[in-house]
């Protein structure tokens, strides 16, 4: 590569280059788990419980075993002696946490619709599903409970004998003097918020292909996972196959949004079948099966109250949350309504006192897990909802109330009441930018004029701060996470100067094959096209904890940056040796190592890579090769933030909500690839809008999932949305080697509350103060009808 | 019972003995053309959209026997020697995909929009995409991709056929 000093190329860091992932995805040549076909492969289909809660009096597989093409049928009686229960990996301390055993196949009781009962292995997929119909299950139906608050009531059906009262854990966060806050308050605002249960709906369902080789005892699992190394760890625990003989491959993965973090029943059952039969076995969920058996998200009942003084200053926030956990505790589930939620309760504001009680409740529903935002949307919503109610109560503008309480700008640490230290923030700047862009003052004028004409325009404004870049492993351990939270990268120069990077994280649509190549190109002056990022296969990547919580770039990107800097240090030493200069006299610029003051006396990084690889002339004691690895454990979390504004119009006759405009201003620090950042915001915002307006998993009182297919569960469609206007500010993280913070979840964290507040704002003249999400036309219409004629009291009844 | 079918896929004939109930999408995937995806079981998501005799179709809504004698184009049949068509290139240029799972179906939904309306408005594009679901992009950059393709002179030359 030749570059001249005069024509400095545009910096690749910060450039919106095209994604290198895309050609394979656009041509149908990418391979997802379902696309793998192995010689002799058999197909598995899993029988799911049709009841929310039932005793299994008998499972008769005799007819199924005789069906055409059937190789084997297994039930819990077969797996119980081989597979261990699926472990929960986030055991929150000081919460009396009780993790009930979660069998890969149920034995005596089923506890949710979708609980796995039996598996058929057949020569073809169609034959496997045919045979599934021939399994006779004798259920003794038991009373079920699906609402997390009702599960806590005396006399509620009990899910697990060892968990009295269905309380999986009770966790508390407290900071400041909450009693004094409420005692001195002149205004107290209360609300009851239902953060409805959501179904993540990654377009690719879950599935696995397992290949066990009896002769060697080796097991390979191609798996739809966001974290292959965690998958291997847990798979090893459950199957007993030692980690060194276990290989987990996350091939192309079709989105996750949290639903591919946990190891689920089907993964273990598929592995079991392969181990038992010595054949490769494939299991791919149908969508309806996915809705029943793969993890859900949210599901909080929140009783919240805010203490303030009459000038609108927040004094304290007190909450009780009943968090539905489903029938079992999924891999990371207990950490979500606690660490990722409770610790973020004070948001972007000065909140002197906070107290929250979280009851994790077992219910006869699909287990919950992280779902995009995971805990933080549920926290953001509380504050943003209460601040709007406070503003209304005090007859203040919602923006004014926020401005009164925002934490002033800081660039190197700010302690908040929950015990966290935010890294950097300038919340006013994002708010100002959002308001200016949307023309807030003018909008309020328009709104007033529209109201005069009987039109219901609404404006919602939200600021948020989120916790990302999980996180220091020491903290992970202290809060009961049964793993580390560092990330890793290996940077390997080949003799030709081309680079392979091996990372422990496992992106699945976020574009790190591109952005990580940009990091390497920027740090070492190689062409971005000369860097290939390898991920997803535990056999050829270093240990890493996975892609979730907006952490891949925030933690894995840091690992990569550190590794490239180690490369640079070694290259400098070697350059000094080759140029016969002291290392102190070697400077680096744009891929070249040169003698200070003599730019012509230089070695390119490619020269160095070649010499290091052939090793003909190395300094005394220097090892051959140009390769470096880093295991990066961050000193703190990162805290991205932003401000969003939505404008809606409601048709009071039909209750239809039209989203007219949406402005997002997010700050994730320096952007490696602004096009990809924008893409993350766009997708995230729309997912949050989905929660506000359309999405909700509905169970009946027996635990039947009524929204059990894509025909019944409404994810956003193209024709329902306006163009989202995406802007940003840049506030670097002080502790991150590249200053970056993470952007995967930002949009979702802000947009649900923003749209919700806009709808309620629109309906203020009608006296509507609260509507349960999703804000479907029917619910909005009912709220309007209900509110009409009622006293226009702003304080909802708790 | 098995039926003999011949379906031309991407210009190559595939002769198979199939069960009458076999869905076209399974026929294609069993033939090794796994670029066509399955994202649901109720014909909502559109990930399996292909062209049947030049018209877009959710291949989970058709039996293989119904496609006997027809010509099918799948995502594998678009780019020649790795060279993307104008439409594929527009998705790339517009960041119109993230995880890529809905993308093959989206490309053919976009193809159908442009086939019936070479200069669609953003609203028309959004309406045309309503039968295809994407969970990553929020659709905006897919709309942009269709607009970009519509403005690409290559679209007029090669037509939406390729």
Task: Say how many residues make up chain A.
Answer: 798
Chain B: residue whose CA lies nearest to A255: B99
Q: Do B79 and A286 touch (CB under 8 A)?
A: no
User: Could you tell me which CATH class the domain B3-77 is placed in?
Assistant: alpha beta
Which residue among A34, A675, A683 places its CB closest to the CB of B136? A683
CA atoms within 13 A on the CB side of A664: 32
The C-alpha of B4 sits at a distance from chain A's nearest C-alpha, in angstroms, of 18
Phi, psi of A697 (to 5 degrees): -85, 125
Q: Does B141 contact chain A (CB < 8 Å)?
A: yes
The CA distance from B46 to the nearest CA of chain A, in Å, is 10
Residues contacting residue B6 through CB under 8 Å, at least 6 positions apart: B13, B14, B15, B68, B69
Interchain CB distance below 8 Å, B140 and A715: no
Q: Where does A633-774 show beta strands of DSSP type E? A: 641-650, 657-667, 724-728
Q: How many CB atoms lie within 10 A of CB B2?
A: 10
Per-residue tokens: A295? 């993890």
CA distance A605 to chain B (A): 31
pLDDT number for residue A4: 42
SS3 A606: helix
pLDDT at B158 over 80: no
Report domain extents, chain B.
3-77, 86-156
Q: Across the interface, do A25 and B34 touch by the CB < 8 Å criterion?
A: no
B80 phi and psi angles, rounded to 5 deg: -110, 125
CB A322 within 8 A of CB A149: yes
Sheet hosting strand A626-632, strand order edge to edge: A531-534, A499-503, A487-493, A626-632
Residue in the block written with tokens 């995406």 = A726
Q: Which of A76, A716, A699, A798 is nearest to A363 (CA)?
A: A699
The answer for residues whose C-beta is within 8 angstroms of residue A534's C-beta and 6 or more apart is: A500, A501, A502, A503, A540, A541
For testing contact with chain B, the best of A128, A536, A718 (most B CBs within 10 A): A718
CB contact under 8 A, B103 and A37: no
- Strand order through the sheet with A592-595: A586-589, A592-595, A598-604
Minimum-distance CB partner of B75 among A28, A509, A678: A28
Least Cα separation, residue A410 to chain B (angstroms): 33
Q: What's A84's DSSP letter? A: P
Contact by Cβ (8 Å): A520, A564: yes
Strands A487-493 and A626-632: antiparallel
Residue B44 is nearest to which of A31, A678, A710, comparing CB atoms? A710
| Whole-number Cα distances in Å, A728 to A17, A674, A750 | 18, 10, 14
Distance CA B9, CA B73 (A): 6
For A352-403, give the DSSP string. Answer: S-EEEEEEEEE-SSPPB---TTTTHHHHHHHHHHHHHHHHHHTT--HHHHHH
Per CATH, is B86-156 categorized as 3.40.50.720?
no
Report pLDDT for A471: 84
Separation between Cα atoms, residue A740 and residue A672, nearest integer Å: 8
Rounded to the nearest angstrom, the minimum Cα separation between A233 and chain B is 25
Is there a cis peptide before residue A774, judged by omega within 30 degrees of 0? Answer: yes
Tokens 């009841």: give the residue: A51
| Residue A31 three-state SS | coil
Interface test with A, best of B35, B63, B101, B106 (most A CBs within 10 A): B101
Cα separation, A590 vs A505, in Å, equals: 28
Which of A303, A232, A763, A264 is closest to A546 using CA atoms? A232
For residue range A297-353, what is the model confidence (pLDDT) as tens digits? 999 999 999 999 999 999 999 999 999 999 999 999 999 999 999 999 999 999 999
Q: Given A32, A126, A676, which is nearest B101 (Cβ)?
A: A32
- Does the distance separating the beta carbons of B36 and A203 come in below 8 Å? no
**Beta pairing partners, A141:** A54
Question: Edge-to-edge strands of the sheet including A724-728?
Answer: A456-465, A641-650, A657-667, A724-728
CA A59-A60-A63 angle, 5° bins: 150
pLDDT category at B1 given cuts 50, 70, 90 is confident
> What DSSP state is assigned to residue A582?
-
| Cβ neighbours of A173 (radius 10 Å) | 20
Spatial contact of A461 and A754, defined as CB atoms under 8 Å apart: yes
Nearest CA of chain B to the CA of A470: how many Å? 22
Q: How far is B1 from chain A (nearest CA, A)?
A: 13
Contacts of A748 (CB under 8 A, 6+ apart): A372, A373, A377, A684, A685, A687, A688, A691
Beta-sheet pairing, A421-422 with A414-415:
antiparallel
Strand order in the sheet with A246-249: A70-75, A116-122, A42-48, A281-284, A207-213, A218-223, A246-249
* Beta bridge mates, A538: none
For the question of an ipTM over 0.90, the answer is yes
Chain B residues inside the 8 Å CB shell of A286: 41
Question: In chain A, whose CA is at the least distance from the CA of B136?
Answer: A683
Closest residue by Cα to residue A415 from A634, A639, A750: A639
Pick from A712, A696, A738: nearest CA to A195: A696
pLDDT at residue number A795 = 43
Cβ contacts of A488 within 8 Å, gap of 6 or more: A503, A504, A541, A542, A543, A544, A556, A559, A629, A630, A631, A632
Residues 26-55 of B with CB under 8 A from A: 26, 29, 32-42, 44-45, 47
Q: Which domains does chain A have, with CATH numbers?
A: 22-29+486-632 (3.30.365.10), 33-143+208-282 (3.90.1170.50)
Helix (H) or strand (E) holding A194: strand A187-198
Provide the H-helix boundaries in A226-349.
228-239, 265-277, 287-293, 339-342
* Distance of alpha carbon A371 from alpha carbon A201, whole angstroms: 10
Q: What is the pLDDT at residue A788?
A: 77
pLDDT category at B155 given cuts 50, 70, 90 is confident
Q: What is the dihedral of CA A667, A668, A671, A676, to 10 degrees?
A: -100
- CA dihedral of residues A568, A569, A575, A577 (deg, nearest 10): -160
- What pLDDT is recorded for position A789? 58
CA distance B97 to B84: 15
Nearest to A337 by CA among A295, A385, A382, A379: A379
| CB contacts, 8 Å: B133 with chain A | 203, 710, 715, 717
Chain B (54-73) residues lying within 8 Å, Cβ to Cβ, of chain A: none
Contacts of B134 in chain A (CB under 8 A): 203, 718
Residue A755 confidence (pLDDT): 98
Is the CB of B99 less than 8 angstroms away from the CB of A675?
Answer: no
Q: Searching chain A, which residue's CA lies closest to the CA of residue B47?
A: A203
Buried residues in A535-569 as b, exposed as e (16+ CB within 10 A): bbbbeebbbbbbbbbbbbbbbbbbbbbbbbeebbe
Counting as low any pLDDT under 50, the low residues of chain A are 1-6, 791-798
Question: Measured between CA atoms, how close is A669 to chain B, in angstroms?
Answer: 21
Three-point CA angle B139, B140, B143, nearest 5°: 85
CA distance A713 to A708: 7
């Amino acid at each position: 590569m030749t570059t001249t000093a005069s024509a400095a190329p545009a910096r690749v860091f910060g450039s919106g280059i095209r994604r290198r992932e895309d050609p394979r995805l656009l041509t149908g040549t990418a391979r997802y788990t379902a696309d793998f076909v192995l010689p002799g492969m058999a197909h598995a289909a899993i029988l799911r419980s049709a009841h929310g809660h039932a005793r299994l009096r008998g499972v008769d597989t005799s007819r199924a075993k005789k069906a055409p093409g059937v190789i084997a049928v297994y039930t819990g009686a077969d797996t119980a002696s081989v597979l261990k229960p699926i472990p929960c990996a986030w055991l929150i301390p000081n919460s009396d946490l009780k993790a009930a055993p979660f069998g890969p196949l149920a034995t005596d009781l089923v506890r949710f619709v979708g609980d796995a009962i039996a598996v058929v292995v057949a020569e073809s997929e169609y034959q496997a599903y045919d045979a599934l119909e021939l399994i006779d299950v004798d259920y003794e139906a038991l009373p079920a409970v699906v609402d997390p608050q009702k599960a806590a009531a005396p006399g509620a059906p009990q899910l697990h004998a060892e968990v009295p009262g269905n309380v999986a854990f009770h966790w508390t966060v407290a900071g400041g003097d909450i009693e004094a806050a409420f005692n001195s308050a002149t205004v107290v605002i209360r609300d009851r918020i239902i953060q409805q249960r959501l179904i993540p709906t990654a377009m690719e369902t879950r599935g696995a292909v397992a290949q066990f080789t009896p002769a060697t005892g080796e097991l390979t699992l191609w798996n739809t996972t966001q974290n292959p190394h965690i998958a291997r760890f847990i798979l090893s625990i459950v199957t007993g196959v030692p980690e060194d003989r276990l290989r987990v491959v996350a091939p192309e993965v079709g989105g996750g949004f949290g639903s591919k973090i946990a190891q689920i029943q089907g993964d273990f059952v598929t592995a079991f079948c392969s181990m038992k039969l010595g054949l490769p076995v494939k299991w791919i969920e149908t969508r309806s099966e996915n809705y029943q058996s793969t993890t859900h998200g949210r599901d909080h009942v929140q009783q919240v109250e805010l203490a303030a003084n009459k000038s609108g200053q927040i004094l304290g926030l007190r909450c009780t949350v009943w968090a539905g956990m489903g029938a079992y505790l999924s891999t990371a589930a207990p950490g979500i309504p606690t660490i990722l939620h409770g610790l973020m309760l004070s948001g972007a504001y000065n909140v002197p006192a906070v107290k929250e009680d979280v009851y994790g409740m077992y219910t006869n529903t699909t287990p919950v897990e992280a779902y995009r935002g995971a805990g933080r949307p549920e926290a953001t919503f509380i504050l943003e909802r209460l601040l709007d109610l406070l503003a209304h109560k005090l007859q203040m503008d919602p923006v004014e109330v926020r401005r009164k309480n925002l934490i002033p700008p800081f660039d190197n640490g700010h302690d908040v009441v929950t015990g966290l230290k935010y890294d950097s923030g300038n919340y006013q700047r994002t708010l100002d930018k959002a308001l200016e862009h949307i023309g807030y003052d003018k909008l309020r004028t328009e709104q007033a004029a529209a109201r005069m004409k009987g039109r219901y325009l609404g404006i919602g404004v939200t600021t948020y701060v989120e916790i990302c870049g999980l996180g220091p492993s020491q903290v992970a351990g202290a809060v009961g996470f049964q793993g580390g939270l560092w990330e890793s990268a290996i940077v390997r120069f080949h003799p030709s100067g081309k680079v392979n990077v091996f990372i422990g994280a496992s992106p699945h649509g976020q574009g790190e094959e591109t952005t990580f190549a940009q990091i390497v190109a920027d740090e070492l002056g190689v062409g971005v096209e000369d860097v290939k990022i390898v991920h997803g296969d535990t056999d050829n990547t270093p240990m890493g904890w996975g892609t979730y919580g907006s952490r891949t770039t925030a933690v894995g990107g840091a690992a990569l940056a550190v590794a490239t800097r180690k490369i640079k240090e070694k290259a400098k030493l070697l350059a000094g040796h080759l140029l016969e200069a002291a290392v102190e006299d070697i400077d680096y610029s744009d891929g070249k190592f040169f003698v200070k003051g003599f730019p012509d006396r230089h070695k390119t990084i490619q020269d160095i890579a070649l010499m290091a690889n052939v090793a003909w002339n190395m300094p005394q004691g220097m090892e051959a090769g140009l390769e470096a690895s880093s295991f990066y454990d961050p000193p703190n979390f990162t805290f991205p933030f932003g401000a969003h504004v939505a404008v809606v119009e409601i048709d009071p006759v039909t209750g239809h909500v039209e989203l007219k405009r949406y402005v997002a201003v997010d700050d994730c620090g320096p952007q490696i690839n602004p096009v990809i950042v924008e893409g993350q915001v766009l997708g995230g915002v729309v997912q949050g809008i989905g929660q506000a307006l359309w999405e909700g998993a509905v169970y009946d009182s027996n635990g039947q999932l009524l929204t059990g297919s894509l025909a019944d569960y409404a994810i956003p469609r193209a024709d329902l949305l306006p163009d989202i206007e995406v802007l940003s500010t840049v506030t670097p993280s002080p502790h991150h080697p590249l200053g970056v913070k993470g952007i995967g979840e930002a949009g979702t964290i802000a947009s649900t509350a923003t749209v919700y507040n806009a709808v309620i704002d629109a309906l203020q003249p009608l006296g509507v103060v609260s509507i349960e999400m999703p804000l479907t036309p029917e619910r909005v219409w009912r709220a309007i009808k209900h509110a009409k004629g009622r006293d226009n009291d702003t304080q909802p009844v708790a | 019972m098995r039926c003999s079918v011949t379906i031309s896929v991407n210009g190559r004939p595939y002769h198979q003995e199939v069960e009458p109930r076999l869905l076209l999408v399974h026929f294609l995937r069993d033939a090794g053309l796994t670029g066509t995806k399955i994202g649901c079981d109720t014909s909502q998501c559109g990930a399996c959209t292909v062209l049947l005799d030049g018209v877009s179709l959710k291949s989970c809504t058709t039996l293989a026997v119904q496609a006997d004698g027809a010509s099918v184009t799948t995502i594998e049949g678009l780019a020649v020697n790795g060279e993307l068509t104008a439409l594929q290139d527009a998705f790339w240029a517009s960041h119109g995909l993230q995880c890529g799972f809905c993308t093959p179906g989206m490309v053919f939904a976009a193809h159908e929009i442009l086939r019936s309306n070479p200069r669609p408005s953003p609203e028309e594009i959004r309406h045309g995409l309503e039968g295809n679901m994407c969970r990553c992009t929020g659709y905006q950059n897919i709309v942009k991709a269709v607009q970009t393709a519509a403005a690409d002179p290559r679209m007029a030359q090669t037509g939406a056929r390729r």
